[in-house]
Structure 1
Amino acid sequence: MPRVGDPALRPEEAHVVITSTPAMEDSAATLSNLGAVEWLGGNRPRADAAEIRTAISTKFFINRNYIKLVSHFPEDFFVLFTFQHHRDQLTASPGRFSYDGLDIHAAKWHLEAHVDSVEADYHVHLCIENLPLNA
């Protein structure tokens, strides 16, 4: 008869849920309120982040210091604004504008659409001090 704590009685796999921290929640709220994604339409010419930042700044009369823009996958760019009304101005219907031959599309960043749920299959060995091996 197996004893209490026998490794043979333990399940092969277990599921762990990791809760988010307040800092993670704040970051998600910031991205949802101030973030946007952009992609190039048409014949998709090459454009770098500086060109797109200039296009947004010029077209919508937004100070360049209020715009942070980086390359992003799967869309072409991720934009983070300092103020929400600037993001709303960019993503307002139809969420598309032309600048210097570029066909630029924009949409608000949404948590559900832009993050992936990942199954991390890791086995972890824990060492707990002052606990009998048969516990």
Structure 2
Amino acid sequence: MAWTGDHSQRPAEVFTVIHATPAMHQEAVLLGSNAVVAWLDRDIRASPQDIAAAIVQEMGMLAEDVSVVRHFPEAYLVRFSHQHHCADAAGRRDLKFRDTRLQMRSWRLEAHSKNVDLVHHVRLCLDGLPLQAWDEFAVAQAIGPECSID
């Protein structure tokens, strides 16, 4: 009899389709009006907090009005609380950042989102795996061949 945690009864592959919801459409509209993608002219290390601080300083806005996260394929996604800040940033196209320039372009649905297979990073709690079994081989066996360990 199979029980909920019986790995032998689970399928080898699982596919999920997520249909667009009204909230997803609303988020796309909000990103289109309040977000820019950004990257640095030179390959230097900068945290999202450093980028946010530079934008706040150069554009003269409040720190809580801008949020920066890492973004692929561009380096950063900058989200503004106010549409006029986003329009100003996109209009400037670049800002001074240390000894280089921070390039900014408007986020557009057509250019910055598409249906692709995404590789997801998850943190997984494996109950019942004894301490001596915590090696790469045992964990790989526990999570299955469709996953990789980072």
Question: Is this a same-fold pair by TM over 0.5?
Answer: yes
The percent identity for this pair of structures is: 32
Does the alignment pair 1:102 with 2:117? no
Does the alignment pair 1:35 with 2:35? yes
Unaligned runs of 5+ in 2: 1-16, 118-150
Following superposition, the deviation at residue 18 of structure 1 comes to 7.2
**Which position in structure 2 is the counterpart of 1:13?**
none
Cα distance in 2 for residues equivalent to 1:50 and 1:20: 31
The question of whether the paired residues in 1 share the 8 Å contact of 2:55 and 2:95 is answered with no
Name the structure, 1 or 2, with higher relative contact order (CA <8 Å, separation 6+): 1
**Which position in structure 2 is the counterpart of 1:9?**
none
Which structure 1 residue ranges, 4+ long, deviate > 3 Å from structure 2?
none
| TM-score normalised per structure 2 | 0.62
Aligned partner letter, 1:111: L
Matches for 1:48-87 after TM superposition, within 5 Å: 48-87=47-86
- SS for the counterpart of 2:73 is coil
Instruction: Say which one has the larger Rg.
Output: 1
**Which position in structure 2 is the counterpart of 1:3?**
none
| TM-score normalised per structure 1 | 0.69
The question of whether the paired residues in 1 share the 8 Å contact of 2:28 and 2:109 is answered with yes
Cα distance in 1 for residues equivalent to 2:55 and 2:89: 8
Following superposition, the deviation at residue 25 of structure 1 comes to 1.2
**Which position in structure 1 is the counterpart of 2:146?**
none
Higher helix share: 2
Following superposition, the deviation at residue 20 of structure 1 comes to 2.6
CA RMSD of aligned residues (A): 1.8
Following superposition, the deviation at residue 21 of structure 1 comes to 2.0
Cα distance in 1 for residues equivalent to 2:35 and 2:26: 13
